[in-house]
Amino acid sequence: MAAREQGIGLLVIRADAGPVIGTGHVLRGLALAAAWQARGGAVLLLSHAMPGELARRVREAGVEVADPGARHPAAGDLAATVRCARDRRAAALVLDGYFLDPGYQRGAGAAGCPVLVLDDHRHHPHYDADLLLNQNHGAEGLDYVTNEGCRLLLGAPYTLLRPEFLAARPRERDRPHGGPFHLLVTLGGSDVATLVPRLLEGISDPELDVTIAAGSSSANLAALEAWAAGSPLRPRVVSAAADMPRLMNRADLALSGAGTTAWELAYLGVPALLVELADNQAPIAEALSDSGAAIALGPVAGCNRWHIASLVGALRGTSERLHQMSRAGRDLIDGRGALRVVDALLDARRHGGRGMRPPQEVTA
C-alpha cells in the first residue's frame, strides 16, 4: 500500500543496502522513519536493488519502498529522486550514502523541500544541504565545510535508534559468579563465513556461550553454519534475527562491526570489542573506545585472533570492567536522537531554506 501524505507529510529517504555496503544506512533510515511516523507522517524509502528480505522488513515497518532505477553516478538516480519528492510533495528529503556526493546533494535542492544529509567521517570536501547530521560521538570537533545556512546536527544527542531498541530496557552487566558468559558476534551483512572463523579461532574455551547473529544480506551463510557445526565453541548461528535487542540484552560482551550496531549496543549497555569493517567505521570505533563503552580493535584485516581471545578471557574474569563499559555506553546515548532530528526537519520546513527554492529541471 502506498504511503499516505498526511499529518506532517511525507518523508523521502534515499539509501541503499547490500552485501558490500551493508545494511546500516537503511536501518538508521528506519529509526528516523519511526520517529517521523510517531509525529503523524508517512515515509517512502528509495533504494536501488535492496535485498528482498530487507525490503520485506522495511515494508513491515509501514514504510513504502521504491527503486529509483539506478545508483549515482549512473544517470537517472538524482532525477528520479527529485521527481519523486516533487510529485509526492515531500515534506523533507533525506540522503544517506557515501556515493551521494556534493553534486548529488546540490542537485537534490531542486526537490522543493528541506534536504538532510547523513555523514559519518567528513569524507567529502564540501556538503550542500539544509541540515547535516553526524551522529557519532566527537563529531562536534569536525571542521565541516558547508553551504551558507546549513544547520549542523552533531554528536551522540542525535544517535538514531530503531523503536525495538528504544523499547528494550538497558540492563546492568553484573553477572552472577559461575554463570555462563555470553558472547554475541555480530558483523552485519559482511562476509561472515570468512571473517567470523578467523576472528574466533583463537578462542578455545568450550564453556563460552557464543551466538553469531548474521545479517539478512550476509554472504555464504551455509558455509558459516557448516563451520559452526564443527567448531569446538559450538556457536549458535541466528540469521536475520527477529529480536536483535533480546540477543543483545542476553550478551555479556559483543564482538561487533563498528557501524550502526555499535550505537545500539552502547544504548543497551553491552560492552563491545569493535572491528572496523570499512574505513568509515574508524571514527565510531575510536569515539566509543574514548568514551569507555568499547575497545577498538582496528581494521578487521589487521585483527589478531590471539589478541581477541586474550581480551575475551580478561573481560570474562573482570566484572567491574564490564560494568564500567556498560555504564559508559548507557550514559552516552539517551535514545531521543531520532526525535531531535525530526524536530530539526520540521523547523527547517517552517522556516524555509536551500531546499525550498523553486523547482528546476534536473537531468543528471
Q: What is the DSSP string of 72-109?
A: TTSTTHHHHHHHHHHHTT-SEEEEE-TTS-HHHHHHHG
51-63 per-position pLDDT tens digit: 898 899 999 999 9
pLDDT on residue 196: 92
pLDDT on residue 353: 62
Through-space distance between the first and last CA atoms of the chain, rounded to whole angstroms: 30
Question: What does the longest C-alpha to C-alpha distance in the chain come to?
Answer: 67
Other beta carbons less than 10 A from residue 220's beta carbon: 15
Report if pTM > 0.75: yes
pLDDT on residue 78: 98
With a cut of 70, list the residues of the chain below it in pLDDT: 1-6, 172-178, 189-190, 216-219, 353-364
256, three cell numbers: 561487533
130-155 per-position pLDDT tens digit: 999 999 888 998 999 999 999 999 99
Burial of 354 (0-12, 13-18, 19+ CB in 10 A): buried
pLDDT on residue 351: 85
196, three cell numbers: 567470523
Q: Are 147 and 176 in contact (CB under 8 A)?
A: no
| Unique residue bearing C-alpha cell 544506512 | 25
345, three cell numbers: 526537519
Beta strands 42-46 and 182-186 are: unpaired
143, three cell numbers: 571542521
Cα gap 199→197, rounded to integer Å: 6
pLDDT on residue 229: 93
